[in-house]
Chains A and B, each alone.
Chain A
Amino acid sequence: MTQTVEQVGRPPVRRAPRRLPYLVRQLITLLVTLFAITIVIFGLTAIAGDPARDILGQYATDAQVTAFQQIHGLDQPIVVRYLEWLGGIFRGDLGISYQSNGPVWDVISPRLGPSIVLVLFSWLLTVVISVPIGLYSGVRLRGHRDAAVTFVTLIVAAFPEFVLGLILAIVLGVWLAWLPVDSTAVSMGGLFDSPSAYVLPGITIALGTIPYIIRLMRANAREVASETYVRAAVLRGVTEPSLSLRHILPNAAPPVVTALGLQFAGLIGGVVVAETLFGFPGMGQLLAQSAASRDAPVVEALALMIGAVFVVANLAADAIVVYVTPKLRDAVR
């Protein structure tokens, strides 16, 4: 304390530094996170070792290996390789695929559309199924019927996606023959020429997250339903559906919105499994194939895209939570 005697007692009133607007702060977070992701992805593929030998086969001559390394710049120090890769991303150049020897973008681009449609479809399916069921069972169901919902979600959650996918394929595809078991048709014709090919993989992916979202929605709805303001609303004569939709849902939704953002990661994990299972020509299948064949540039590009989608989805979920919660809306200003 170096104040003079006159200043003692009256606290000095200093303004705290102004904070940047919420959206700008979020955007900075986004860029920093993406930058960190590029380091991790590149680091991990580098740790995996030199792919030349794996790709050229054990009978390749040393000269062939050296040539491969020169073509793909593998003889450079890792920092140089990383900076070149990073620079390439900014120029829209994702590198050359080890397998096709063509640009990575040409390998990925035909698969982008189908996968985006598939993920959005399964995500919508998750929302449309989980939120109403969770809300209803949380607010209205008690006793055995409530326990039944919890039990079924637990059973579904206990099955891995490939088992669920197989069961669905057998029941809906083989016994009932309603849907094609093989989704390769998607690669032919336009994006929406064979809609039925999306259904089985879509449901399989959604079933991986639906039980989780139902349970979360149910738990939150139940908690909110026991709040004083809900009892007060009931005693003001508020009836269903207004009670659930207007008084309970907005207060119970924020954690679910956050989870739906986080679950994008779960969905993408499901995409790899479901696409491989149903022969769906998307990015998940490509990721699995490229990883198996050590096609590092393709894996890196796909991982970066998935990472970007994940980060954006989470930040979007955060922003939505802030937007729908009046209290937070005031706090972030």
Chain B
Amino acid sequence: MTTQATRVPAQRDGDLAAEGLSVGYRSRDGLTQVLADVSVRLRSGRILGLAGESGSGKSTLALSMLGYRVSGQETLAGRIDFDGRDLDRASIKDLRKVWGARLAYLPQDTATSLNPALTIRRHFIEGLRRHQGLDTEEAVRRSVEWLGRVEIPEPETALHKYPHQFSGGQQQRIALALALSVEPEVLILDEPTTGLDVVTQAHVNRLIVALARDAGIAALYVSHNLALLATVCDELAIMYAGQIVEQGVAAEVYAAPRHPYTAALIGAVPTIASDRALHGIPGIPRPSVPVHVCGFADRCGFRTEACDTDIPLVTLAEVRSARCVRLDELPPFDPAAEPAPATAVARSSATVDKDADTILTVHRVGVVFSRPGSGEPFVAVDDVSVRVPAGRALGIAGESGSGKSTLLRSIAGLVRPATGTITYRGKELAGLAGDRPVALRRSIQIVFQNPDATLNPRHTVYQSLERPLKLFRPDIARRDRRDAVAAMMRQVRLSPDLLDRFPRHLSGGQRQRVAIGRALLAEPEVLLCDEVTSALDVSVQASILELLVGLQADRELTVVFVTHDLGVLRAVADEAIILQNGVIRESGPTARLLRTPQHPYTMELIAAVPSPERSAEFLGGGS
């Protein structure tokens, strides 16, 4: 694979390239530059991975490469070369001839990439008739063939269904088949598997790689997950603040990053393989292209005065370049090393205290729902028993629909178990939180996945944080509340200056810190976390996880952490249980569980985790 990757094919028809592209958005406040001098070339049969945090400009680049402009978007310099033509200056009429015919696009959100009002058949034959000149009968035949290729069961029947009648993974596979059915030369994928389960994600990624390589398609794969990109792509381009900061062959970039930002991104991805510490990247990305300074300087541990200038992209080898003035001076990348100034917390997984008191006992709990519409009963949690030791972190992992969130919610008293008991310090808990005494409600707090949905948008940060004090902490006098809240802000590493802001003024990571702070202000003994980082970028996720691990240790807090990501599980949990279809498949100390899994389902989950070191294995797996 390495030999193939280092050979650079000559430019040929069907290549799509951005050449020195600079793009800005015009608004009332003037022009904001979001891409600066970006050059990438997509080559037939190869996948280029484009990595970066939210707001780095990676999605803008993906759409720009199709010649698509969102309103207010302006091209400041450069061109998009396709067959010697500049797509950026092509007329809409010419673009419509290549869109969906020679250039295909697979958008991010699985739930919204297909039109809910149209059948799958309509989605397919539209493009096939227009671009391939097929008659309806031939188009239907071709659609069935493609649906089969992406492993949709009963393709003929599937054609007459609507998108919502498929699972998220199936929808994304259908969207992939739809994009590929017109036999395009270029495929642009914008976070195509975000929001899917690990196993489904792995499945879709394998299909993408296999089908794209098979058809000799030139592909651009956009994601914030560098480990995933390094696993599925041939080459990598790392984007920061609208600039490419590093580019090269995927395996080489991942193994030996040259730019401090690339190294930081790699350090932020949780892995299941080692005890490597997880490092967040402090600060937030700058929203626009830097002027006369390195874009990453304010978050970089290696900053010197030399960084205060426009930094050129330095070519290091034939397909390797990086944008840093200190390339020759930086120490070589060491994944185990502490990042320069940033703090990091590693989990000491070896010392699980066997004698820890049990604080929470879940005894043979079952939860039943009725399916919407049909009213069919549905067993979400099936006879689950768990003991949670005090002051430790228990992880619950599984795919969506495994019942992991339902189990957590039944502990929180948000759903009433149909059977079984939950005891807290030897006392049986009432099924619903409303029936529990205030002191108990205070002791068990929960943080949810999406802070946007749990913080009242019309309450300031202070108002949100003051609420648990009003409810649970009569011991804190009214005049002391502000101090208590400010102290908590510092504990979750937020500036107290933000107290009078509204949630919309905060970044996603900051909002999640507020949500965690709100839960902690009740002084709970048990903190329940439901996928608290899955809506966040990896770099932000790492810093939230660092925070949680630190707080857990400092406060001797008991944490029950639900996640679908085994790397996250490894980073936060001393002990873990693996759930599938509401049943516990395996449990034990996290490190051991992930190193020597016993149950086939655990093995399947582990095999689905993208791993650059085992790229070939990952891509070949499942077949």
Asked if B1 lies at the interface with its beta carbon under 8 angstroms from chain A, I say: no
From 107 to 132 in chain B, residues with beta carbon under 8 angstroms from any chain A beta carbon are 107-109, 112-118, 122, 126-127, 130-131
Q: Is the CB of B164 within 8 A of A237?
A: no
Which residues of A sit under 8 angstroms from B131, Cβ to Cβ? 237
Q: Is the CB of A234 within 8 A of B377?
A: no
Q: Is the CB of A229 within 8 A of B114?
A: yes
CB-CB nearest in chain A for B377: A13
CB-CB nearest in chain B for A18: B375
Asked if A232 lies at the interface with its beta carbon under 8 angstroms from chain B, I say: yes
CB-CB nearest in chain B for A227: B112
Q: Is the CB of A237 within 8 A of B100?
A: yes
CB-CB nearest in chain B for A228: B112
Interface 9-residue window, one of A3-11, A96-104, A123-131, A180-188: A3-11
Q: Is the CB of B99 within 8 A of A237?
A: yes
Which residues of B sit under 8 angstroms from A7, Cβ to Cβ? 419
Q: Is the CB of A326 within 8 A of B383?
A: no
Residue from the list B113, B162, B365 in contact with A232, Cβ < 8 A: B113
Q: Is the CB of B374 within 8 A of A228?
A: no
Q: Is the CB of B418 within 8 A of A234?
A: no
B interface residue count range (under 10 / 10 to 19 / 20 to 34 / 35 or more): 35 or more
Q: Is the CB of A232 within 8 A of B375?
A: no
Interface 9-residue window, one of A110-118, A194-202, A206-214, A238-246: A238-246
Nearest-neighbour CB distance to chain B for A279, whole angstroms, equals: 45
CB-CB nearest in chain A for B379: A11
Asked if B165 lies at the interface with its beta carbon under 8 angstroms from chain A, I say: yes
From 240 to 288 in chain A, residues with beta carbon under 8 angstroms from any chain B beta carbon are 242, 246-247, 250-251
Residue from the list A13, A142, A325, A330 in contact with B373, Cβ < 8 A: A330
Q: Is the CB of A333 within 8 A of B373?
A: yes
CB-CB nearest in chain B for A235: B105
Residue from the list A8, A15, A16, A232 in contact with B105, Cβ < 8 A: A232
Q: Is the CB of B164 within 8 A of A242?
A: no
Question: How long is the Cα–Cα vector from A301 to B178 in the complex, in angstroms?
Answer: 58
A interface residue count range (under 10 / 10 to 19 / 20 to 34 / 35 or more): 35 or more
Residue from the list A142, A234, A246, A251 in contact with B99, Cβ < 8 A: A234
**Would A237 and B372 be within 8 Å (CB), given that A3-B419, A9-B366 are in contact?**
no
Question: How long is the Cα–Cα vector from A331 to B374 in the complex, in angstroms?
Answer: 8
Which residues of A sit under 8 angstroms from B47, Cβ to Cβ? none
Q: Is the CB of B107 within 8 A of A231?
A: yes
Annotate B26-64 by CB proximity to A: 1 below 8 A, 0 otherwise.
Answer: 000000000000000000000000000000000000000
Which residues of A sit under 8 angstroms from B381, Cβ to Cβ? 11
Asked if B493 lies at the interface with its beta carbon under 8 angstroms from chain A, I say: no
Q: Is the CB of B115 within 8 A of A16?
A: no
CB-CB nearest in chain B for A5: B364
Q: Is the CB of A228 within 8 A of B99?
A: no
> Taking each of A9, A13, A142, which has the highest tally of chain B beta carbons within 10 Å of its own beta carbon?
A9
Residue from the list B114, B130, B372, B376 in contact with A331, Cβ < 8 A: B372
Question: How long is the Cα–Cα vector from A331 to B383 in the complex, in angstroms?
Answer: 29
Residue from the list B105, B117, B126, B182 in contact with A325, Cβ < 8 A: B117
Q: Is the CB of B115 within 8 A of A233?
A: yes
Q: Is the CB of A326 within 8 A of B116?
A: yes
Residue from the list A16, A327, A333 in contact with B370, Cβ < 8 A: A16
Nearest-neighbour CB distance to chain B for A102, whole angstroms, equals: 53
Question: How long is the Cα–Cα vector from A324 to B165 in the complex, in angstroms?
Answer: 15
Annotate B140-168 by CB proximity to A: 1 below 8 A, 0 otherwise.
Answer: 00000000000000000000001011000
Q: Is the CB of A229 within 8 A of B96?
A: no
Asked if A91 lies at the interface with its beta carbon under 8 angstroms from chain B, I say: no
Which residues of B sit under 8 angstroms from A230, Cβ to Cβ? 115
**Would A242 and B71 be within 8 Å (CB), given that A8-B364, A10-B366, A330-B373 are in contact?**
no
Q: Is the CB of A228 within 8 A of B109?
A: yes
Question: How long is the Cα–Cα vector from A232 to B178 in the complex, in angstroms?
Answer: 11
Nearest-neighbour CB distance to chain B for A307, whole angstroms, equals: 31
Q: Can you sample 19 A-B contacts with CB below 8 Å?
A: A8-B419, A10-B419, A11-B382, A15-B376, A16-B370, A142-B71, A228-B107, A228-B108, A229-B115, A232-B105, A233-B115, A235-B105, A237-B99, A237-B131, A238-B126, A251-B115, A326-B117, A326-B164, A330-B165
Known: A10-B383, A327-B162. 9 other contacts (CB 8 A): A16-B377, A230-B115, A232-B107, A236-B100, A236-B127, A237-B96, A237-B97, A239-B96, A330-B373
List the 4 closest A-B pairs by CB distance, nearest first: A9-B364, A11-B366, A236-B100, A16-B375
Residues of B participating in the A interface, judged by any CB pair closer than 8 Å: 66, 68, 71, 96-101, 103-105, 107-109, 112-118, 122, 126-127, 130-131, 162, 164-165, 175, 178-179, 182, 364-368, 370, 372-377, 379, 381-383, 385, 418-420
